[in-house]
Chains A and B, each alone.
Chain A
């Protein structure tokens, strides 16, 4: 019985920060960064975090919410989990409309977290039938004028594990756990502290990684020369190529780290690059995926014939073309919490969430599940006991009717500059859903002039409000255009 990867997906936020804009803004202070002024880094919008990006990647892998009830376990890997306590993976499970009897866990603590989750997912898939979802995301905070600010990107990836229709079987894996502190962050702090780069490179990566990779290869019974794709996410220049050489892996197997288009997306970056590789991998090809952090982990995979039958939804390539260039460095700093803007009197509104209400309506709020009347067919959001059907209100006739994967069209809209909003002007409008139902909802990832009546939109899971007073976030769904304008059109 082969056990391994049965699906993959990715997510890259639409905003792509122009690195030159960052370097120019900081040139007075950090002229040494000018060598990094190339390309773009992916940048989470204000309403994105590791939970929302993980959901987006998972939906990319699953083809939407899990309406067939395939997934029986969800593992979320991240070092930037929004909640230190409140199971982040459970929010992901709710957003994916998973069956309630689904196992969920957060994996964190090092840049190897996604591969730790990989190992856990594999073991789980081996133990019982069904699909195990591993999703990884990071939305890292960095200090202004730091190298990390330019090197990093935001993004997520997801893998499905199971026993049927395996597209890449796992041949072997290895793990090394040592307290090598290339960077650290105490609980409650928001930005990492970094060790000396030369030490990390020479004593850390160069010593730890080859051991682990060789061990994984030998566990797999695969020769290094046979590796077709070598994935090692790193911000250290040419480190991936040097590592391949040290392990005897052919130079041409080294997978481009997407530094120019995305940046290093942290915990999920290995999975993101794997998702990219799998988009065009050939049956029989061997892939090595390795990551470094408080030790190291490596896995060896072999692509199967089933890869031909897997339909990539957007995938990394699709998300790469959905970018929009962001030229505002202060927007980036603001969204990363490094710059405090005047919010105005409207920004003082209390955003306290009634937790009892949030729980009672979790299917509607987190899962975007409406109620469809089995008599009239009318779709109700939010669901209610009585239908709105004119002159024929029916009692208790509504069945669950998920809307998240249905396309919508804009009935009416406006964009206002009055409310306190992190991406003005604030766009919202009425969306009519394919198959019925209507919600007055917010738009996200839109620029001025992009929203029109009859525009086709899709649903994305995002942060609805942030309660700064109590330190809480609430999530809901927003509308975003299905088709986006030409890539890299700047945000007005």
Chain B
């Protein structure tokens, strides 16, 4: 087992723009918004940044390819800027690159930024993927809600769950996220909803209704990282450090073989085990104060509770309905509203999740501040249940 990156890298500053249907802003404007806040938080000048990583998923819908869109938008001082892309987990990849650069000693200070401008595409929901060559000749023209909705049918079959009960549990997931998002001024969707609204909403992909699907948003988020000793030398206290960064990527076993039953996300379990080991966490239910998970759809969040070992197998429905992951629950989840309500600008989401945990650990989360959180987990999933990229990061207070 590698030594890992625990406590080798600290967050110097973070920024996140207001997410939503930002008809007023271009991707460049969103980047400037997030970057300015992060720079002010870090208290550094651009010349101090050694290198940057840039995450955007749908390069052709406006933001552009390569490192130049970010370098030009932020007028970075001719440093290395590298674009990374890993489906919806791209933001976490940018973080990982910046953290590893600092941990290696190659950089003192590194920047990671993610942006997505989805609302200039003319689509509600994610735009359809670009056409490849081989895969579209056999693979269904599948959309994300139907890919994730299949978790529900398989989970239901595996645990023999009453469909109405499961529908209520996933409704609870969304009701909770809306309640949290309502307290977040930067969130895209800020209305409180009821279980009844969820249950009666039009079906998008059986059994997922409108309120089981996350918002499609414009947004950007940024993080500046450095070594703890550098941060302290700059006068920073109460440092938030990285405890673990793990990524697990499907290799086709779930998609092609017959061993996976479709009711869980294989890579999440692998990444979670590795992340807990790297962070030295042995009792996640007690040691994790809060989570930001990839709730692209309510059912994803529900099964993720089991995949992160925060619920026993088959018990997530009960735990969710019991409020275990509500703001006042055992391990609050999506205290900022999550993808569901904060929004899901694809390339920025991983960094947005980090942003919320950072604010919470710093005690800067305003009306949604949790009492004394110590360690937070970020679960950022790209792709679909049968074939995906799963990134799990754990951050916490330096002294823990």
Contacts and interface: CB of A to CB of B under 8 A. Distances in A.
> Do A and B interact?
yes
Interface of A: 345-346, 349-354, 357-358, 361, 364-365, 378-382, 384, 388, 390, 411-419, 421, 425-426, 428-430, 432, 436-442, 453-454, 464-465, 474, 476-477
A437 B146 contact: no
A453 B256 contact: no
Contact of A349 (B122, B128, B145, B255): B128
A418 B258 CA distance: 28
Contacts of A454: 157
B140 A441 contact: yes
Nearest to A352: B131
B153 A365 contact: no
B192 interface: no
Contact of B137 (A357, A384, A430): A357
A411 B261 contact: yes
A421 B141 CA distance: 9
Main secondary structure of the interface of B (DSSP, over half): loop
Given A345-B123, A440-B139, A440-B255, A354 B133 contact: yes
Interface string B241-284: 00000000001110111110111000000000000000000000
B257 A413 contact: no
9 contacts: A365-B137, A379-B258, A413-B153, A414-B146, A425-B205, A430-B262, A438-B258, A440-B139, A453-B153
B140 A412 contact: no
B142 A428 contact: yes
A438 B145 contact: no
User: A-B pairs with the 8 shortest C-beta distances?
Assistant: A416-B205, A412-B150, A414-B149, A416-B146, A354-B133, A412-B154, A412-B262, A414-B146
A381 B253 contact: no
Contact of B143 (A419, A432, A465): A419
B342 to A, nearest CB: 22
Interface centre among B128, B251, B253, B259 (most CB of A within 10 A): B128
A414 B139 contact: no
Contacts of B123: 345-346
B204 interface: yes
A485 to B, nearest CB: 18
B182 to A, nearest CB: 26
B134 A354 contact: yes
Interface string B272-302: 0000000000000000000000000000000
Contact of A464 (B138, B142, B157, B203): B138
A37 B258 CA distance: 50
Contacts of B139: 440
B66 interface: no
Given A378-B257, A425-B206, A418 B125 contact: yes
Nearest to A415: B206
Nearest to A410: B153
B30 interface: no
Given A378-B257, A417-B205, A428-B146, A465 B141 contact: yes
A45 to B, nearest CB: 16
A476 B128 contact: no
A378 B251 CA distance: 14
Interface in B184-226: 202-206, 208
Interface string B147-161: 101111110110000
Contacts of B128: 346, 349, 419
A443 B129 CA distance: 21
A357 B206 contact: no
Interface in B147-180: 147, 149-154, 156-157
A197 to B, nearest CB: 44
Main secondary structure of the interface of A (DSSP, over half): mixed
A365 B138 contact: yes
Interface centre among B122, B203, B256, B259 (most CB of A within 10 A): B256
Contacts of A436: 258
B141 A440 contact: no
Interface residues of B, number: 44
A235 to B, nearest CB: 38
Nearest to A421: B141
B120 to A, nearest CB: 13
Nearest to A380: B256
B386 interface: yes
Nearest to A378: B257
A351 B130 CA distance: 9
Given A361-B134, A412-B154, A438 B255 contact: yes
Contacts of A440: 139-140, 142, 255, 386
A390 B254 CA distance: 11
Given A354-B133, A388-B253, A476 B138 contact: yes
B136 interface: yes
B138 A364 contact: yes
Contacts of A465: 136, 141
A97 B190 CA distance: 56
Contact of B146 (A364, A384, A418, A439): A418
A188 to B, nearest CB: 27
Contacts of B208: 414
A380 B128 CA distance: 27
Contacts of A364: 138
A430 B151 CA distance: 11
Contact of A417 (B140, B156, B204): B204
Given A428-B146, A429-B150, A416 B204 contact: yes
Contact of A414 (B150, B251, B261): B150
A415 B263 CA distance: 17
A214 B143 CA distance: 61
Given A345-B123, A438-B258, A418 B204 contact: yes
B293 to A, nearest CB: 20
Contacts of B255: 438, 440
Contact of B386 (A353, A414, A430, A464): A430
B137 A350 contact: no
B257 A429 contact: no
B258 A432 contact: yes
B137 A476 contact: yes
B154 A361 contact: no
B206 A411 contact: no
Contacts of B252: 380, 384, 388
A430 B204 contact: no
Interface string B104-148: 000000000000000000110100100101101111111101110
B256 A381 contact: yes
Nearest to B261: A411
Nearest to A376: B257
A442 B139 CA distance: 8
A426 B142 CA distance: 9
Given A345-B123, A412-B150, A438-B255, A361 B145 contact: no
Contact of A437 (B251, B258, B262): B258
B145 A418 contact: yes
Given A382-B134, A414-B153, A453-B157, 19 more contacts: A346-B128, A353-B137, A357-B137, A388-B251, A390-B259, A412-B150, A412-B154, A413-B153, A414-B145, A416-B149, A418-B146, A421-B141, A425-B203, A428-B140, A430-B262, A432-B258, A440-B140, A464-B137, A476-B138
Contacts of B256: 379-381, 388, 437-439
Contacts of A357: 133-134, 137
A352 B149 CA distance: 28
Given A388-B253, A413-B153, A358 B137 contact: yes
B141 to A, nearest CB: 5
Interface centre among A354, A453, A454 (most CB of B within 10 A): A453
Contacts of A426: 140-141, 146
Contacts of B141: 349, 419, 421, 426, 465
